[in-house]
Every structure is written in C-alpha cells, then in structure tokens.
Amino acid sequence: MLSWVAALAGAAIAIVSGPRPVAGAFVLDRLLRYAFIFPVGLMGLWAALGHIAFPLWAAQAIGWQTSPFQLEVGVANLGIAFAGLYAAFRSFEARLATNLVLACFLIGAGIGHIGDIVGAGDFAPGNAGPIFFTDLLTPTAIFLLLWFSRPRAEEREAVPRRTPARREG
C-alpha cells in the first residue's frame, strides 16, 4: 500500500512541478511512470529479496512452509522489477508488455491466495492481507491507466512504421 502512496506522491510532485498548462497525457504518463517505479519496480525488488535472501521469513508471512520454489518466485519478481523500472521510462508498448507479465504473475498469485484462504483457512498477513488486494489491483489499475493513455488511431497513422531494410540479391 505504501508503494502506491509513494507512486501517487511522486506523480503529484512531477505534475505540480511540470509544464503548464497541464496536459492529460502528461498526467497519465507520470501516473504510469511512478506506478512502474514503485508498485512494480521497487516492490518487485523487495519481493525478490524476501523470497531469495529470507525464504523462511517470506514463507512464514504467507503462511507457507519454505520451498525450493521460492527461489523461482524470487527470480520472477526480480525480472518483473527490472522490467518495471525499464518500462517507467519507455514507450506505451514496453509498459503494456511489462503489465501483461505482471498481470499474469500477480493475478495468478491472487487466485492462489483465494485458494489458500478458502481451502486451507490461511489468513496470514502475507496471504490474506494487503498483498492479496495489491496483487489484484496493481495490474488492474495499470491496465486502466494504459487504456486511457493508449495511442489513438490517428496518432498511430501519423507515425511512420520502421521496418527492417530488405537485402537485395
């Protein structure tokens, strides 16, 4: 939850100190930038650190036993973190691709949390607490921001498409 507070604060500071008049596209870009920096990038690094360096603590917070799969979860979080930090400063397409991976991972984790809550009665803070909600809401919120910031048809037509040069002979 704090990562979203940081993202909104960072975006607000960037918007207030940004160009005037404030364009809607600029607001959306800064909201997306800071969402990719904090809830995706830095939280991904935090999750990676937890699962890789402190697997016992991470497992206990979730209500699990430690598992070799935590290394895999940690490395997946690390990849998502780096992609998020990259996407923060890149194109719509980079942001969309990163959020597709993030959504598969986090929404899948959210579904797993539901299974643990219903099937095993696991109400541990790392399973049924704020992480459950951010697993579902973070990629959803980013998809909404991407939807509103998507390039319109006239914008796509105005930009020439780059294709590789063909070789002769």
Distance CA 120, CA 2 (A): 28
Sequence ranges of the domains in the chain: 2-151
Q: Which residue matches tokens 């600029």? A: 26
Q: Provide the H-helix boundaries in 88-124.
A: 92-120
Which pLDDT score is estimated for 152? 82
Q: Which residue matches tokens 């990163």? A: 98
Q: What is the pTM of this model?
A: 0.87
Q: pLDDT-based confidence at 164, cuts 50/70/90?
A: low
| Angle 115-120-123 from CA coordinates, rounded to 5° | 85
pLDDT tens profile 6-15 = 999 999 999 9
Distance CA 92, CA 148 (A): 11
pLDDT tens profile 79-121 = 999 999 999 999 999 999 999 999 999 999 999 999 999 999 9
Distance CA 88, CA 72 (A): 24
